[in-house]
Amino acid sequence: MSVAYEHLEPLYPLGWRHFRLTLPWMPLRRHRHPEFELTCVLHGAGTRFVGDSVEPYDAGDLVLIGPHLAHAHASPPDAGPIEIVVVQFTRDIFGDAFFDLPAFAGVAALLDASAAGLSFPEVPAALLTLDDLGSAEKSVALLDVLLALSRQPYVRLGSGQPPSGTGAEDRIETIVAYVHEHYRAQISLQDIADAVHMNASATSRLFSRSTGFTLTRFIALVRLNAACHLLSDTDLPVAAIATECGFANLPNFNRRFREMKQTTPTAYRALRGEGATTREYLPNRKLADLFLGE
């Protein structure tokens, strides 16, 4: 799959870009641009591509992506809506040499490290309040976010180098797209191997080597994330949700759910229902068209 190059115009009078976007789903569309990008997932789950890193994501996922680094967030078409906060900015947003000042050495090091993509354990509170601020206050808050991130531990996502084999990269994307489309049905290793025109053992090795987890675990994660959406947003019985999300039987569903979510489906539903509140955000149509490729 080719990588789209995006030309991004800064928003006036900010000089950088910030938006909160809700989409029914996130198709796989790898893209790159000269700006740094902070992406925070507020709701939804799927698969994240950053450079040569391929990992599942869930609500609370926060990554910083360096300039010109190919990236994408993808999700199954019918696994529930995705809500994200995105901030895009250049290194000189506060002036050409601002981050060269000794006081901001930590932020400068953070921006340098983002060439490989970085994942953070905590979302700075200021990132979630940008909608409520004026233009000047937004820029102050962005600086606060970058300072907070520079003081957090982070996980480096990729090597910072372009993937060594575009054929392998395309096959991984095809596998992810196939699982996202067919997770409701029973998926065999041979089905996936046929989709990428490889034998089954080679397909399994390629996916494990490229992503760090097995195909079986990835399929289970996709199914469980879809189940979490149904547990949160519907009154369907747990057994019906298990069947709807591709699990062969209820005991297997319960075992997998406890293994990967550290709780039971019933307890998860009860927790999500306690004091749960939702806010509706109308997506910007132009941005939605961009993400959906329309």
Tell me: pLDDT of 110 over 70: yes
Do 225 and 113 fall within a single domain? no
- Establish if 283 belongs to a structural domain: no
**What pLDDT, on a 0 to 100 scale, did the predictor assign at position 290?**
43
Tell me how far apart the alpha carbons of residues 268 and 231 are, in angstroms, rounded to a whole number. 8
**What pLDDT, on a 0 to 100 scale, did the predictor assign at position 16?**
94
Mean pLDDT of 78-105: 92
Q: What is the DSSP letter of 231?
A: H
Of 18-22, 198-202, 288-292, least confident by mean pLDDT is: 288-292
Residue 37 burial (CB count, 10 A): 23
Tell me: pLDDT of 278 over 60: no
Do 154 and 179 fall within a single domain? no
Do 239 and 191 fall within a single domain? yes
The domain of 19 spans 4-160
Percent of the chain whose predicted confidence (pLDDT) is above 70? 89
Where residue 169 falls among pLDDT bands split at 50, 70, 90?
A: confident
Mean pLDDT of 144-172: 82
Count: domains in the chain: 2
Mean pLDDT of 129-146: 94
State how far Cα 234 lies from the chain centre. 23
Do 189 and 145 fall within a single domain? no
